[in-house]
Amino acid sequence: MRRKVTVVGSGNVGATVAHRLADKQLADVVLIDILEGVPQGKGLDLLESGPIEGYDLKIRGTNDYEDTGNSDLVVMTAGFPRKPGMSRDDLLKANAEIVRGAIEKVVKYSPDCFLIVVTNPLDAMAQTAYRVSGFSRNRVIGMAGVLDTARYRAFIAEALGVSVQNVQGFVLGGHGDAMVPVPRYTTVAGIPVTELMPKEQLETIIQRTRNGGAEIVNLLKAGSAFYAPSAAVVEMIDAIFNDRKKILPCAVFLEGEYGIQGLFVGVPVKLGARGMEQIIEITLTDEERAALEKSAAGVKELVGVIGV
Domain ranges of the chain: 4-142, 145-306
Residue 165 pLDDT more than 70?
yes
Distances (CA, A) of 105 to 96, 186, 242: 14, 41, 27
Question: Of the residues 19, 20, 153, 175, which is catalytic?
Answer: 175
CATH of 145-306, one of 3.90.1310.10, 3.90.110.10, 3.40.50.300, 3.30.70.20: 3.90.110.10
Look over the chain and give the mean of its residue pLDDT values, rounded to a whole number. 95
Confidence of residue 175 (pLDDT cuts 50, 70, 90): confident
Find the helix packing angle between 145-160 and 227-241, rounded to 10°: 120
Backbone angles phi, psi at 276, to 5 degrees: -80, 105
Whether 19 sits among the annotated catalytic residues: the reply is no
Q: Can you tell me the distance from the alpha carbon of 176 to that of 192, in angstroms, rounded to the nearest whole number? A: 25
Residue 87 pLDDT more than 70?
no
Q: Which of 51-60, 75-84, 186-195, 298-307 has the lowest mean pLDDT?
A: 75-84
pLDDT tens digits, 245-277: 999 999 999 999 999 999 999 999 999 999 999
Residue 184 pLDDT more than 70?
yes
Q: Can you tell me the distance from the alpha carbon of 5 to that of 110, in angstroms, rounded to the nearest whole number? A: 10
Q: Confirm if 7 and 32 have CB atoms less than 8 A apart.
A: yes
When pLDDT is averaged across residues 227-231 and rounded to a whole number, the result is 98
Q: What is the DSSP string of 141-172?
A: EE--HHHHHHHHHHHHHHHHT--GGGEE--EE
Q: Which CATH superfamily is domain 4-142 in?
A: NAD(P)-binding Rossmann-like Domain (3.40.50.720)
